[in-house]
Chain A
């Protein structure tokens, strides 16, 4: 049984020469944490520290670990799966779920990059380690397969702690509910994924995550390749083939939202959300405009546009959101 939480700290290795600047991470039994940050932030180093694969460290056997560039050894997919710590049949079923069941008998030289990644991922997920640490598991996976792979990751790590390094908010949201924001070898912020995205702790954190709307929705209907989802009572047209009734999470970058002072007519927007301005705050050179109530969308406009639109707290506005600007993450 896993104790309440495991604590990993780079302070135990003060002279490791790594980029980490005294980072400590506590991982609870069923935490699902995405580690997000720019290149060179120390995300992979953090994961190596947690797995104990950095030079001079002892491998921590409580942690399953998928390196950023996983390696398959000579042989077939199956011989590589069997190198994992997990049960053979569990590894096979995970590989099956990831869609590489049919190619497991092939020599690894015959596999594509995406197939190799899935075999390596199945190998890393097949064990029973208390913590599963995945470094960019989705990087070589095609966009269209990511929700499937995310589902398998969630399923295979259920009841265990998950740490997933990614530089994609979509991937983070698809596998995790907590976010660790890293920059320059330090943790800038850790918290609920939606909270960190909605309320970055400082200017740097805000630059890293961008200003975006991350909202939960339910698929209500399908029309000709598009779906109508319900966001707190507001219908939005998005691109997804998720089944009716399924819960999804939407991400709408704030700069992709157009603001109007009258209901737009004859525009290309499939989605127009009417509301009252709740708040206006400067974000660098731009102004963040937040709507009152649910879904409480925010938009970024230039100060000039804000003046032209006579935007002020309490003003009536219409937010135009292009369907193509909304990313959909299938959830649970």
Chain B
């Protein structure tokens, strides 16, 4: 048992003493994950609404792409963005590789199908009378989209929460395009990988606890928003 207690005691001293290094990692984690979630939500939620409402040829194909995207392995997304941003790649001249921007790009790509797919699912679950009423009202696209986002707010918040859950826990993609550079692109997940590989288990556990805490706070916040939305349903 002394191994476990040593690890926990190391974890405690890491948390109480590591200061600015841990702070930097937490801030970058929050900036990258929240930016990616926000971008995915702003783009993906309206896309999801339209995908659920629109009737066009190729809609089934788009739905299939979204569904595959929801489960795509992060390392593949990381590889894809790496190739795009590589020096000789199509966007190499932007010099974004191994920067937080590259990490936000790849995480947005990972979160987008989730935001789209879960929102579309929520809108598809509308009652028949709501569907009929929408056809009766025949609102302009933007107005109808806004109305539906409010109408299925609970489902939209679930989509946002799932998107955040995907990106905050993700390590494969950010390590490929970010490089886990200390003080520049190191986030909680990549730091945990780093510390584990160097057998600094106390630090790894401490970072894990912080990651869990962030996840908890964000999800409690979103659940609270859901409840607040459901109150006046």
Contacts and interface: CB of A to CB of B under 8 A. Distances in A.
Interface of A: 51, 53, 59, 61, 65-67, 69-71, 73-75, 83-85, 107, 109, 124
By secondary structure, the A interface counts as loop
Interface in B32-48: none
Contacts of A84: 137
Contact of A71 (B130, B139, B233): B130
Interface of B: 127, 129-130, 132-139, 143, 147, 150-151, 153, 232-233
A89 B130 CA distance: 25
B139 to A, nearest CB: 7
Given A67-B132, A107-B232, A73 B139 contact: no
Given A70-B129, A107-B232, A65 B147 contact: no
Given A69-B129, A69-B132, 13 more contacts: A51-B136, A53-B132, A61-B138, A67-B129, A70-B129, A71-B129, A71-B130, A73-B147, A74-B232, A74-B233, A83-B137, A83-B139, A84-B137
B136 A74 contact: no
A65 B153 contact: no
B150 A74 contact: yes
Contacts of A51: 135-136
Contacts of B130: 71, 73
A294 B214 CA distance: 85
B147 A59 contact: no
A66 B133 CA distance: 8
Main secondary structure of the interface of B (DSSP, over half): helix
Given A73-B151, A74-B233, A75-B150, A66 B138 contact: no
B132 A83 contact: no
B233 A67 contact: no
6 contacts: A51-B135, A70-B136, A71-B127, A75-B150, A83-B143, A124-B136
Contacts of B151: 73-74
A115 B136 CA distance: 19
Contact of A73 (B132, B135, B150): B150
Given A107-B232, A109-B232, A74 B153 contact: yes
Given A71-B130, A107-B232, A66 B136 contact: yes
Contacts of A73: 130, 133, 147, 150-151
A65 B233 contact: no
